[in-house]
Structure 1
């Protein structure tokens, strides 16, 4: 996606080059005959220059992405063996479940609560989960649903948080949605805690609402809807609800944001207008306050130094503790 955005800039570059030639032409007149007669002269050099710029931009983009992917600890990495074959090395996180597009893993740092886990796309998606396609989002939603069912069987609830501090592919981290379990009574109070925290965050004056409702809503088709004929009002099309709102229809990947899901249908969002003044641990701090945790747990959690076998053991213990096998929808893939 980033590569497409970079390469499409060439069209604008060509327009700017043509405009520059026109500006230097003292005899230019806004006449179609004049433009047709002098088109070759006006556009001379711009095409070759633009092609070279696109080539250099593609090279820079490739090198940047290679560096980003090489330094990403969430990505699966291809390593070359002695015999020349390739081996896919898993990320340095305890892997719980693997879908076609999305995986479920445990944090590689000290968890905030028992059961803390992470939903992340397998492909390197920089920054926002809004850049994921529909298939990936189907899997994200499945993980959310079955995690909530699993924790409910344990008498717990959970919140899902995502913090996007940068939208630049070279600076943004591999997108990840944290799932933090809470006692059931605290989970029901979570919307009030997050709303209070969001209202108190940022500057007093901002261009966006501090609290953006992203809950998916159902709206019945209105009787006077021109798309539904009167005789079809009792038809299934008229009875079905029209889906409005929701995280993917409300937030944008073009701006940094914070979002918390209370259900797979949505929650609350906040546009981060000034990333320098918004703490990246904001969501974890709200949960930490609810659980009465020390700041070291949610600000700079201790990194767990584990071998591959230790990570596998921790994932196996997590599955056994919470009975994940009953809720593992990826087993049917």
Structure 2
């Protein structure tokens, strides 16, 4: 016998059969959602693996030009408690440098953005940054540090680029970058166009997962910009600003200009000489 109940809202007949069908449909829907989430996770994992296999910046990758690496992580290892894991490395660009001393700080492992870094990696990147500022100050140079995080789904390896500038241009850099950020991207933006990084770092200024551009001036903080339309935002944005300040040819930043091995070797040797007196990877007992 089929038991019937009266619907409270409209008086329609409602049977136990209907209840079972509804419950089964709900379970089926839950199962489909779980399957979608599982498929999404598998897809993300495959994309990450594919990115890592072709990555030119992962330290374990055969694609990395290791002859351009100047320093690797920290050798200040135990502090009499636990070993400090090596987290980052410093290298020079494969192509023609934007400015003399152009370099980049990268995580050894495949991290995609500073907004996703844990404290250990972040701290060691900041150690390298402070060391570079000190090194270039001795040459009466300023420097800007830039990161461009675009196309998050492609999961590209992050790089914090350091571009030295003559002192007089370094003083003007915040003005140039702020104006360029205000003029870029969409006219009507959902996010604040210029995010001030003077009192907080990028990890606390931009939500994880969003594309962004960030620039810091020496150790003074800087600006971040959430990229609203990646089709209209050039991946070379920061280099273009520096290129405009220094009156360089556009080909210097629009596409990497190949550099032969001998020229690469010369710039590595020159940079290594600058770096040696300030080397932050040496343990105190190493001198």
Structures share a fold, TM > 0.5? yes
**Alpha carbons of structure 1 residues 319 and 274: separation in structure 2 relative to 1, 3 Å:** same
Provide the rounded CA distance (Å) in 2 between the counterparts of 1:192 and 1:54. 45
Contact 1:141 1:264 (8 Å CA) reproduced: no
Contact 1:107 1:117 (8 Å CA) reproduced: yes
One of 144, 158, 175 as aligned partner of 1:159: 144
Secondary structure of the corresponding residue to residue 231 of structure 2? helix
**Alpha carbons of structure 1 residues 270 and 52: separation in structure 2 relative to 1, 3 Å:** closer
Note the alpha carbon deviations across 1:86-126, whole angstroms, 9 max, x for none: xxx57225101111111111011110111000011111012
Q: 1:64: Cα distance to partner?
A: 2.4
Secondary structure of the corresponding residue to residue 188 of structure 2? coil
Q: 1:132: Cα distance to partner?
A: 0.9
1:317 aligns with: 270
1:84-103 aligned at under 5 Å gives the runs 89=62, 91-93=64-66, 94-99=68-73, 100-103=86-89
Contact 2:55 2:63 (8 Å CA) reproduced: no
Q: Give me the CA root mean square deviation.
A: 2.9
Q: 1:264: Cα distance to partner?
A: 3.5
1:1-333 aligned at under 5 Å gives the runs 27=14, 41=24, 44-45=27-28, 56-77=39-60, 89=62, 91-93=64-66, 94-99=68-73, 100-126=86-112, 128-168=113-153, 171-216=154-199, 245-264=200-219, 266-306=221-261, 314-320=267-273, 322=274, 324-332=275-283
Calculate the TM-score normalised by the size of structure 1: 0.69
Q: 1:263: Cα distance to partner?
A: 3.1
Provide the rounded CA distance (Å) in 2 between the counterparts of 1:136 and 1:110. 28
Provide the rounded CA distance (Å) in 1 between the counterparts of 2:181 and 2:233. 11
Secondary structure of the corresponding residue to residue 330 of structure 1? coil
Q: 1:66: Cα distance to partner?
A: 2.3
Number of residue pairs the alignment of both structures matches:
257
Contact 1:166 1:255 (8 Å CA) reproduced: no
**Alpha carbons of structure 1 residues 58 and 107: separation in structure 2 relative to 1, 3 Å:** same
Provide the rounded CA distance (Å) in 2 between the counterparts of 1:194 and 1:28. 68
Unpaired runs of at least 5, structure 2: 1-12, 74-85
Calculate the TM-score normalised by the size of structure 2: 0.79
